[in-house]
Chains A and B, each alone.
Chain A
Amino acid sequence: MSEEEKPKFLRGSALSLFKTDRHEDWIALVLSILIALGVYFLVD
């Protein structure tokens, strides 16, 4: 097992804070949509 795969945390994985990759994808999507909405309405 490589160093970056060692389980250091009881939640998430070595590379992510989130339960699954799909969970992380959803958070990224929601974050980017929020940013896009912010830019669309606030930047003139």
Chain B
Amino acid sequence: MIYTHKHPALLIMGIIMLSLGVLADFSLMDSVIKYLHIQKYFGEIVSLSYFFGGIAVVVGLWHLFAEHKIGHLDYYLSSVAGATFILFIAMIVRWFIAPLVAVWSKSLGPIMGAKYLHEVLGLNYIVLGILTGIIVVNFFKVPAWAENGVRLSRLGLKTGVVLLGTLYSLAELQQLGSLSILMVGFFVLGSVGLVLWMASRRKISNSMGGVLSAGMGVCGVSATVAAAPVVQAKSVEIAYTIGTILLWGVGCMFLFPIVGNILDLGYVQFGAWAGTGILNSAQVAGAALAYQPDGIETLKVAEIFNITRVLVLPIIVVWLAVWYVKREEDAPDVNVAKVAFQKFPIFVLGFLLMFALSSTGIFSPAHHYKGKYFDNNIPAEKLLTADAVATLKTELDKVQVAAQKESLNRLIENKKVMSIEDDDNLRGLVNAKILSQKANHILKQAHKSVRHTAKKIKKFRQFITWLFAFGLVGLGMQITFASIKQAGGQPLVIGGVVGTLKAVLSLIVVLLFVRETI
């Protein structure tokens, strides 16, 4: 069988990509970039368009004009057309459609705390990418010339999952409070176990149960994507899980603040509850900000719980890998060690390897989280100026909260932020909008001076973003309406039951054990 199609599509996509690169590079689409607020993507629009456009043109010419024979060259190079098709859609979604949705959403104004509609609904490039893939396959059909390459999407996801390990570090886990570790550990492991148990009782496939357990237990899309290849989940099962999580999260974002207000929860209590009970990171932040729009204490606590939950991911991935192998072997006395050696997904070891490497600090200081870290060894030119110090001194009396006042005093005294705690207190002060615009600007600059992003981790994030975008658009292209119908409504029921149980039980634990300090 010859896989290469003599079709001009790849060449045309290549030319369009190159044109996009030229338009951006020579400032011919500045007005579009400005309107969509995509200045941050400028570098990748130029470099990725040139790089992949160039490849697409060269291989496209080969597809059209070369003689093709059965063999590896034909088989693998024919996949470039489909891979470029997916990538092209991912580019359009990430650079234009998702920002356009954000612009429209922002024009409506914030609806939850400081969060906009698209943030509440989770309409980012990931979700929009999957939706676009679903639309393509169901309304237009994947073209024959692209079919072979669409099968590369799972490779993209797996590679992204391995690199995901670079974003976390063991040191970060050690710094977290013991309460968050205990509470999150209990609820994450409990949710995963409960979903797996319910899935087996309701005769749902191991792959569906496995991927849903990771999504409901850990947090949203990353966990779902990481667990999917481990349990060999089908495209529709992954989409189902992501849909369940997002729907659940939207409901929680509105309900949690209402319940919190009725029960008169403290900021720490609400942050702990939201960080445990809501699944998606953005939605956790949304609920926390909705509960405390004029401060950062709730958000900070919710973030701590959220980070703890994400850091449990490596444990869950290994657990699911062993669980799945054992279940699929269908033998109660299976030799787990032997089977695990034979069938354990190698890329999971890669994820753990990257996590271990990241923990040693070779990519960024070891205490980083997702590449961000605190370091106040800054050059003299980044210290506060005499004028800035004078401005802050005149506004000192406006600050009523003792911790914030102490942090501000230390900032004035040392001309730089002295600790992570001080930085958090000063962020809270800015958020409270007590000081003048000028003073807030000074505080923001002081914050920026001591918060750093590791360049290597930033680059890893870019790779992960694109590998996930590529993988998920391709995944969307494998989801037909027929397959959604075939999956049935059981996963939604299980997700709803487990999510509700987790929210209610974690609220009880918070009410019983959480005080206003951690």
Contacts and interface: CB of A to CB of B under 8 A. Distances in A.
Interface SS of chain A? helix
Interface residues of B, number: 43
A22 B303 CA distance: 36
Interface stretch (B107-115, B231-239, B275-283, B410-418): B231-239
Contacts of A39: 363, 456, 459-460, 463
Interface SS of chain B? helix
B363 A3 contact: no
Given A25-B346, A28-B350, A35-B163, A43 B459 contact: yes
Interface in B319-348: 343, 345-347
B482 A2 contact: yes
Contacts of A14: 151, 478
A32 B357 CA distance: 13
Interface in A8-28: 8-18, 21-22, 24-28
Contact of B346 (A26, A36, A44): A26
Given A11-B75, A44-B455, A24 B162 contact: no
Given A4-B236, A15-B235, A17-B152, A28 B363 contact: no
A17 to B, nearest CB: 5
A5 B387 CA distance: 69
Interface residues on A, range: 20 to 34
Interface in B135-175: 147-149, 151-152, 154-155, 158-159, 161-163, 166
A3 B483 contact: yes
Contacts of B377: none
A42 B398 CA distance: 48
A28 B235 contact: no
A16 B363 contact: no
Contacts of B149: 17
Given A39-B460, A43-B459, A44-B455, A24 B154 contact: yes
Contacts of B349: 29
Given A14-B151, A43-B455, A29 B235 contact: no
A30 to B, nearest CB: 9
A17 B163 CA distance: 21
B155 A28 contact: yes
Contacts of A27: 155
Given A24-B154, A27-B155, A40-B362, A4 B456 contact: no
A15 B483 CA distance: 14
B483 A12 contact: no
B480 A4 contact: yes
Contacts of A32: 159, 162-163, 347, 350, 354
Interface of B: 1, 3, 75-76, 79, 147-149, 151-152, 154-155, 158-159, 161-163, 166, 229, 232, 234-236, 343, 345-347, 349-350, 354, 357, 362-363, 455-456, 459-460, 463, 478, 480, 482-483, 486
